[in-house]
Structure 1
Amino acid sequence: MQLIEHVQYLAFNPGVTPKGGGLPGLPVLKNVMGSLNLYGIIAAVGALVISALTWAWGSHSGGHQAEANGKKGAAVAAGCALLLGAANGIVAFASNLGTQVH
């Protein structure tokens, strides 16, 4: 009976926690992810500029379709920039929330 209780405890808590330095190349991977995040933010800025220009052109020329697409593009670009900028905080929040599950 003691063995079954021990196996049940391991099924609920295997004792695995994230640990830095366990595998080689972790600093390189962090550098690559940071660079990808930067490229994503730069792309979001470009998308926001293009969407704002489309919005302004559509508003000035009376093109309601172009104006609506410009507004939609600006909202999507701003949302992407928000998510990219908050990526570390969102992942840290979810990870901390996950450690509280028992």
Structure 2
Amino acid sequence: MDVSPDFGAVGGLGDLRLIVGALLTFVLIFAVLMLIICAIVWGVATSSGNYHAATRARAGVLVAVGTAALAGAGVAWVNFLLGVGETL
């Protein structure tokens, strides 16, 4: 059996792909900006002895890295699931 999704049946698929691509770009840009800002705050707060701010900034760095990883891996995950779906 060769079963695969019919993406041609969706009206406005090209527009939908553009919108999703633009949203993914915004997410990655904001995640990188958040990573840069939080890393700077983490360094300054640690060097000045403000450990509460350093802890918050470290959490921000981890959230930014996780967000960028999830956004970047989302496309690969969907492609993998579509590949698995074709073999079922």
TM-score tier (shorter)? 0.7 to 0.9
* 2:59 corresponding residue in structure 1: 72
Show structure 2 runs of 5+ residues with no match.
none
Structure 1 residue identity aligned to 2:64 = A
Q: 1:85 Cα deviation (Å)?
A: 1.1
* 2:23 corresponding residue in structure 1: 36
Q: 1:60 Cα deviation (Å)?
A: 1.3
In 1, the alpha carbon distance for the partners of 2:19 and 2:83 equals 24
For this pair of structures, how many residues does the alignment match?
87
Q: 1:73 Cα deviation (Å)?
A: 0.8
The answer (yes or no) to whether the contact 1:54–1:69 under 8 Å persists in 2 is: no
In 2, the alpha carbon distance for the partners of 1:43 and 1:81 equals 9
In 2, the alpha carbon distance for the partners of 1:39 and 1:45 equals 10
User: Aligned residues: percent identity?
Assistant: 34
2:73 to 72, 86, 93: 86
**Structure-2 change in CA distance of 1:38 and 1:55 (3 Å):** same
The answer (yes or no) to whether the contact 1:48–1:77 under 8 Å persists in 2 is: yes
Structure 2 residue identity aligned to 1:70 = A
Q: Which has the higher contact order (CA 8 A, sep 6+)?
A: 2
In 2, the alpha carbon distance for the partners of 1:53 and 1:42 equals 17
1:47 to 34, 41, 60: 34
- Comparing both structures, which one devotes a greater share of its residues to helix? 2
1:10-39 alpha-carbon deviations (Å, 9 max, x no partner): xxxxxx741121132100100000000000
Higher-Rg structure is 1
